[in-house]
């Protein structure tokens, strides 16, 4: 019996409520409204189309059936019973676990508590999971802010607070964030080149609130370093070694630049070619062999990454990958609307998978915002559309960086916040990154100092809109064991 036939039988054996649970658990992966998925077959087809489920990779199905405690179906239909156990986010697992613990009476009490938050029509004939989805839709809960959820669980079933506390502790353990202080909006130094318009910029949560919530949990993972502070302090530490940079060429840099999303519902990323050109100039100047791939499907993105890892050379000093695209929680979009998890982009370069780069830095830069909804256009000073944009559809950085050593992940913005892209000048983040590399590498600055300066520069920019000024803060995260100091080139830096 082929794999599709076995999937059909599994789907037929699932109850409707179990199918809804699977759809909920996969909602981050699917990148679509869960209500659009009508059946188990529909779900499996969507997962297969996005390369998340196949006979060679049944791990997602194994994990899903394990979560809903239907692993017997694996045995009944001759499917493997072991596989990866971290494909579904801990946040989704938490909400599902809470829904299973709450009784029908508990749900009635929760609906009563939500009368002043949600329309009555949204509370009629809905399940607990559907209530959670509506709270997410209204930005009342998220994986970075469960305060409101705690407030409604506490009077209804306080024993479940322990589950939330455990999640918060685990989440803070692996969550890599940047502490920052926004400049006073009246400070003229804060004004960027984006001018008034009225996009509805969603900010579901506050990084400083998250810092406060996480402060009560001890960080037991010392190998993951947390970068703090705006400004550009001297982060060099006496006794910290520097990665060797002695090769004739630094290594290869793959730039994946997704601009045109014609076959999907995502918008064209105006201005991204400016970013590509800046990266190409600066990285070639630094000694990288640059490969540019444009408008890649999700499958092509994965294939390019695998090929880069397989063809890596022992005489490279490092490897770099820059992804310019739309994104969603935990991944980035291909132009076909399919997604690739950021962790999956990085894992092929671990010491086990890529021994030729063991002990050498693996550097990733991701340009995409980390909000959870599409945003409108932001107009430039010229007042014409098509020049300034919110770089929408976002990436959640939680647990994106592998636990292996020698990785650096640079994200355009912190979770729940937008990233700005200008159709004429490119994105705030990539342009600042390129300019600071050009300015600071000749002065002998290490890469973390440079990224701290990028934080400082980008944080001072402001997009003025009717509902107020909006800012951006990049997010570096790393498991480096040494400093990265690129040798100063013999030629003047390129003009950007």
Structural domain includes residue 144: yes
Cα 455 to Cα 463: distance, rounded to the nearest angstrom:
16
Whole-angstrom distance between the N-terminal and C-terminal Cα of the chain?
59
Domain end, chosen from 18, 46, 76, is at 76
Give me the active site residues, please.
326, 369
pLDDT digits 0-9 by tens, 260-318? 988 887 888 888 999 999 999 999 999 999 999 999 999 999 999 999 999 998 899 99
Structural domain includes residue 271: yes
- Do 129 and 240 lie in a common domain? no
For residue 439, pLDDT beyond 80: yes
- Do 304 and 393 lie in a common domain? yes
- Do 203 and 342 lie in a common domain? yes
CATH label of the domain that carries residue 33: 1.10.533.10
pLDDT digits 0-9 by tens, 59-78? 889 989 999 999 899 888 88
- Do 43 and 166 lie in a common domain? no
For residue 464, pLDDT beyond 70: no
Structural domain includes residue 252: yes
pLDDT band at 487; cut points 50, 70, 90: very high
Cα 449 to Cα 237: distance, rounded to the nearest angstrom:
11
Domain end, chosen from 110, 141, 174, is at 174
Cα 215 to Cα 228: distance, rounded to the nearest angstrom:
14
pLDDT digits 0-9 by tens, 163-179? 998 888 766 544 433 33
For residue 373, pLDDT beyond 80: no
- Do 164 and 244 lie in a common domain? no
The larger pLDDT score, comparing residue 194 to residue 409, is at: 409
- Do 110 and 59 lie in a common domain? no
Structural domain includes residue 85: no
For residue 462, pLDDT beyond 70: no
User: Tell me, what's the pLDDT at 236?
Assistant: 43
The domain in which residue 267 lies consists of 188-478
Confirm if 377 and 421 have CB atoms less than 8 A apart.
no
- Do 312 and 437 lie in a common domain? yes
- Do 323 and 413 lie in a common domain? yes
User: Tell me, what's the pLDDT at 238?
Assistant: 54
pLDDT band at 397; cut points 50, 70, 90: very low
Per-residue pLDDT, averaged over 428-444, amounts to 93
Dihedral (Cα; 452, 454, 459, 460), 10-degree rounding: 120
For residue 368, pLDDT beyond 50: yes
Closest to 341 measured CA to CA, from 302, 304, 303, 392: 302
User: Tell me, what's the pLDDT at 381?
Assistant: 28
For residue 204, pLDDT beyond 50: no
* Structural domain count, the chain: 3
- Do 306 and 423 lie in a common domain? yes
Structural domain includes residue 273: yes
Instruction: Specify burial of residue 5 (Cβ count, 10 A radius: 0-12, 13-18, 19+).
Output: exposed
């Amino acid at each position: 019996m082929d794999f599709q036939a076995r999937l059909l039988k599994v789907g037929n054996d699932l109850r409707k409520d179990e199918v809804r649970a699977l759809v909920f658990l996969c909602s981050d992966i699917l990148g679509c409204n869960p209500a659009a998925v009508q059946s188990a077959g529909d779900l499996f087809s969507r997962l297969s189309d996005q390369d998340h489920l196949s006979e060679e990779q049944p791990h997602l199905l194994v994990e899903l059936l394990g979560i809903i405690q239907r692993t017997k179906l694996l045995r009944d239909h001759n499917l493997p019973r072991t596989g990866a156990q971290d494909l579904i986010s801990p946040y989704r697992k938490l909400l599902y676990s809470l829904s299973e613990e709450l009784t029908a009476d508990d749900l009635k009490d929760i609906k009563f508590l939500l009368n002043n938050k949600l329309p009555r029509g949204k509370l009629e004939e809905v399940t607990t999971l559907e209530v959670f989805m509506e709270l997410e839709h209204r930005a009342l809960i998220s994986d970075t802010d469960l305060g409101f959820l705690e407030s409604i669980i506490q009077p209804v079933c306080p024993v479940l607070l322990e589950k939330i506390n455990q999640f918060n502790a685990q989440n803070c353990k692996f969550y890599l964030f940047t502490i920052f202080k926004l400049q006073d909006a009246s400070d003229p130094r804060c004004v960027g080149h984006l001018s008034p318009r009225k996009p509805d910029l969603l900010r579901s949560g506050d990084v400083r609130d998250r810092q406060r919530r996480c402060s009560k949990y001890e960080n037991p993972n010392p190998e993951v370093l947390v970068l703090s502070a705006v400004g550009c302090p001297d982060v060099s530490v006496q006794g910290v070694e520097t990665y060797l940079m002695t090769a004739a060429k630094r290594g290869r840099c793959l730039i994946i630049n997704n601009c045109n999303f014609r076959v999907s519902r995502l918008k064209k990323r105006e201005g991204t070619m400016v970013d590509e050109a800046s990266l190409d100039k600066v990285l070639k100047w630094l000694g990288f062999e640059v490969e540019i791939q444009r408008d890649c499907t999700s499958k092509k993105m994965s294939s390019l990454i695998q090929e880069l890892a397989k063809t890596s050379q022992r005489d490279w000093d490092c490897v770099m990958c820059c992804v310019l695209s739309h994104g969603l929680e935990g991944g980035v979009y291909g132009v076909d609307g399919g997604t690739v998890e950021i962790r999956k982009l990085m894992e092929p370069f671990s010491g086990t998978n890529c021994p030729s780069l063991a002990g050498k830095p693996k550097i990733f830069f991701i340009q995409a915002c980390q909000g959870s909804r599409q945003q409108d256009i932001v107009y430039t000073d010229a007042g014409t559309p098509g020049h300034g944009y919110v770089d929408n559809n976002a990436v959640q950085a939680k647990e994106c960086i592998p636990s292996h050593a020698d990785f650096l992940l640079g994200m355009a913005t912190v979770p729940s916040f937008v990233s700005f892209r200008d159709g004429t000048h490119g994105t705030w983040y990539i342009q600042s990154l390129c300019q600071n590399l050009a300015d600071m590498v000749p002065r002998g600055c290490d890469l973390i100092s440079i990224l701290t300066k990028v934080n400082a520069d980008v944080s001072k920019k402001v997009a003025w809109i009717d509902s107020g000024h909006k800012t951006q803060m990049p997010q570096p995260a790393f498991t480096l064991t040494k400093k990265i100091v690129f040798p100063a080139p013999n030629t003047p830096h390129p003009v950007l």
